[in-house]
Structure 1
């Protein structure tokens, strides 16, 4: 089982456990050790899933007390988790859209923080790498943005997207180079235009 599938299986079983145990907002969930034994997964995998859920704001850890279900202003945890587990079209759209906005914000940051040496290095990598994935390319863009929180959010959404979408579009090398050209020229409009072309996102608002 891949790391992504392990991660999603733990989240799925946590959702089922919360339903079976009748847990609600403010209730304490079992410890990492107890969850590992109950769900039959290694503690490191359980720890990673809990960290992701905490980052998403679904649970909170109180030092010396344990981990609790957070207050969601009337929404139940089970309903929120379902949006990331149910493999329906809305879940796919939501994950893809959110992932895209994070990528565009990272492009904005990269444009502000990076220099020509960094973008030229990335261009060289594209030219000399025969096969590379879209995730590999944007991992490098996010590295250039130098924002740890965006990095973590993007990694989580990327994994969800991969699990929800059976097939992924293929992109051309020229599309990536065009995007990098906008970054090198410090041209935000050209950069975002190239990104929208890459992702076929002509329907996004002008703000982005």
Structure 2
């Protein structure tokens, strides 16, 4: 409804009565849902004014949801596996969509980066893959992955350079092999 009505941060949402009618739910159910959204910090109620959408960027919703979603070990493995497959698919897309200019920008960034961030590196790769849905899914999975609290893995600078070289050669086999080496995955 927020999307359909084009509501943004700071906009007023419909009243309980209107929400109840539009969503075809009882007012008590709507009231409970609004209370839950307010507890999560996604909306705020101002006495005498109504209920408004809050800015939820940077919100800890992922960490909160992960405590429910990621309770078993299999779900935790699935997060890493799914994130890995998305990164590999984005590398494949990037091979076909990246031009010399984008490659030069990435190469310069790596060369001038004092402390290379794995998240930033793959954010840029996924950006170059030009797939908005992959980007959105990857960002969520990345947050879930970090919320698992597993020890931070240190990657080697040379492995990024090897991956970048394979991308520059537009060689899919070398690119995926470089990715597997970077992530310390079984042989490709």
The equivalent position to 1:123 in structure 2, one of 66, 91, 107, is: 107
* Cα distance between partner residues in 2 of 1:113 and 1:163: 32
TM-score, normalisation: structure 1: 0.62
Provide the residue aligned with 1:177 in structure 2. Answer: 161
Shift of 1:91: 2.5
TM-score, normalisation: structure 2: 0.68
2:140 maps to 1:156: yes
Shift of 1:83: 7.0
* Cα distance between partner residues in 1 of 2:54 and 2:125: 27
SS for the counterpart of 1:137 is helix
Provide the residue aligned with 2:41 in structure 1. Answer: 41
Within-5 A mapping of 1:1-208: 30=30, 33-37=34-38, 39-43=39-43, 84-86=69-71, 88-202=72-186
Taking only aligned residues, the RMSD between alpha carbons, in angstroms, comes to 3.0
> Does the C-alpha gap of structure 1 residues 202 and 85 become closer, same or farther in structure 2, counting only changes over 3 Å?
closer
Equivalent residues of 1:84, 1:160 under 8 A apart:
no
Question: 1:149-169: CA deviations, max 9, x gaps?
Answer: 000000000000000133121
SS for the counterpart of 2:162 is helix
Question: 1:51-94: CA deviations, max 9, x gaps?
Answer: x99xxxxxxxxxxxxxxxxxxxxxxxxxxx877331x4323211
Equivalent residues of 1:114, 1:144 under 8 A apart:
yes
* Cα distance between partner residues in 1 of 2:68 and 2:186: 25
Equivalent residues of 2:98, 2:128 under 8 A apart:
yes
| Count, aligned residues | 148
* Cα distance between partner residues in 2 of 1:91 and 1:83: 11
| Structure ID, larger Rg | 2
Equivalent residues of 1:179, 1:195 under 8 A apart:
yes
Segments of 5+ residues of structure 2 without an aligned counterpart are 1-23, 44-52
Equivalent residues of 2:116, 2:157 under 8 A apart:
no
Equivalent residues of 1:83, 1:91 under 8 A apart:
no
* Cα distance between partner residues in 1 of 2:160 and 2:87: 13
SS for the counterpart of 1:131 is coil
Equivalent residues of 2:91, 2:126 under 8 A apart:
yes
